[in-house]
Amino acid sequence: MEISAPAVEQAKAVVAAGLAPALKRSDAPSFGCFPVYSPYEIIRAAGLLPVGLMGAGASIDIVHADARFQSFVCSIAKTSLELGLQKRLVGMEGAVFHSICDVARNLASVFKRNFPGMHIEYIHLPQNAAGPEAEDYLVSEYRRVMAGLEARMGRRIDDAAVAAAIREYNRPRRLMRELYAMRAKEPERIGAAEMFPLVRAGTMLPPDEHARILQVAKEEFTARKPRRMDRVKVVVEGAFCEQPPIGLIETLEGAGCYVVDDDFCAGWRWFSTDVPEGPDPVRQLARAWLERGRATSTRFNPDKPRHKDLVRRVRESGAQAVLFMPAKFCEPALFDYVVFRRELEKENIPHLMVEFEEKMWTFERTRGEVETFVESLLFD
């Protein structure tokens, strides 16, 4: 077992501290970004610090939020609202939500009503990412959000500021891509329970601070001399919005899996390449969302079907199986399970469904299921 690298410990400390340190920063007020993807660069260019408004896991007891939702709603919506109702978002300038599902849509309105001092934005992302009008439409949507932020912050957001923010965010995203590629090639070098806090820390830090941690982690991982174990290489799919507890990821590894790819914190590492730094940076961002964005269950792109992309990622990473890991009550993920399962079976790729909740604290049943699955593949 590898000893956790100091950079990983640093990232874990950032994650454990939650949003409180970000809310107290004096250099830039924070602005919540509900998953999956937000145009972080535009928010940054407004002089704000984009942070993940991504629930609170087991760090909060739900006292008030249950009364605002039906019982069959995912945990991330409830704990995100609970943070606000317990005044643990004081100092957050506002938040952005987008059209990923009905829950996120309604949560934006609930936030607006309950926290009138916050600037709440709702982005209508294009329904069809391959449509001919999609690019112009998304540019106009981003410009509408910019106008709202300009009015709120009392400052103009010019192209130079957006271009600078693109440069800032390209760096940690590039490093995350490099770490993911390193892990896909040698999963014994980087544990999934190490990669997860490294990525998650980026939802709470300015991009340059995040990049520094990632750079150190990369050097530390490169220096390791790991030993390959007899494990099954898996791709984890379905955890793009609500995030699993780290104990669950440790359980997957303990049960005999090497995670070679996943969609944890998908929005924060959304692009397959750098966002180009050309003229008209807002258009560059919109184009990048359309052309270089991840295939996930929250967006429709007939040119890049999600089930085909999953199979591609399995093949490219050399995975032997897929762990389908949706959050409980996550409709986009659960609806897609039908399509994914059909495609995986057609391609003879073994798969297992492992449902989770961010507040989950006991993993014994999951460990048993994953161990049985792994053994069936290793000793088949």
User: Which stretches of the chain bind ligand SF4, using CB under 6 A?
Assistant: 74, 76-77, 100-101, 103-104, 241-242, 298, 327, 330-332
- Cis peptide upstream of residue 370 (ω within 30 degrees of 0): no
User: At closest approach, how far in Å is the CB of 22 from ligand SF4?
Assistant: 21
Torsions phi, psi for 72 (to 5 deg): -95, 45
| Residue 299 tokens, joined | 């967006």
Q: Which is nearer to ligand SF4, 203 or 320 (CB)?
A: 203
CA geometry: angle at 11 spanning 18 and 32, to 5°? 40
User: First and final CA of the chain: distance in angstroms?
Assistant: 26
Say which DSSP state 2 is in. Answer: P
Q: Which is nearer to ligand SF4, 331 or 347 (CB)?
A: 331
User: At closest approach, how far in Å is the CB of 126 from ligand SF4?
Assistant: 17
User: At closest approach, how far in Å is the CB of 176 from ligand SF4?
Assistant: 21
Taking alpha carbons only, the member of 271, 267, 260, 292 closest to residue 195 is 260
Q: Which is nearer to ligand SF4, 177 or 328 (CB)?
A: 328
Rounded to whole angstroms, the Cα distance separating 221 from 18 reads 25
Rounded to whole angstroms, the Cα distance separating 329 from 319 reads 27
User: At closest approach, how far in Å is the CB of 58 from ligand SF4?
Assistant: 17
Strand 119-123 versus strand 92-98 pairing type? parallel
CA-derived radius of gyration, the chain = 20
Q: Which is nearer to ligand SF4, 33 or 260 (CB)?
A: 33
User: At closest approach, how far in Å is the CB of 298 from ligand SF4?
Assistant: 6
- Residue 354 CA, chain-centre distance (Å), reads 18
Q: Which is nearer to ligand SF4, 231 or 359 (CB)?
A: 359
Q: Which is nearer to ligand SF4, 198 or 330 (CB)?
A: 330
368 CB neighbour count, 10 Å cutoff:
11
User: At closest approach, how far in Å is the CB of 101 from ligand SF4?
Assistant: 3
Say which DSSP state 269 is in. Answer: G
Q: Which is nearer to ligand SF4, 7 or 36 (CB)?
A: 36
User: At closest approach, how far in Å is the CB of 264 from ligand SF4?
Assistant: 13
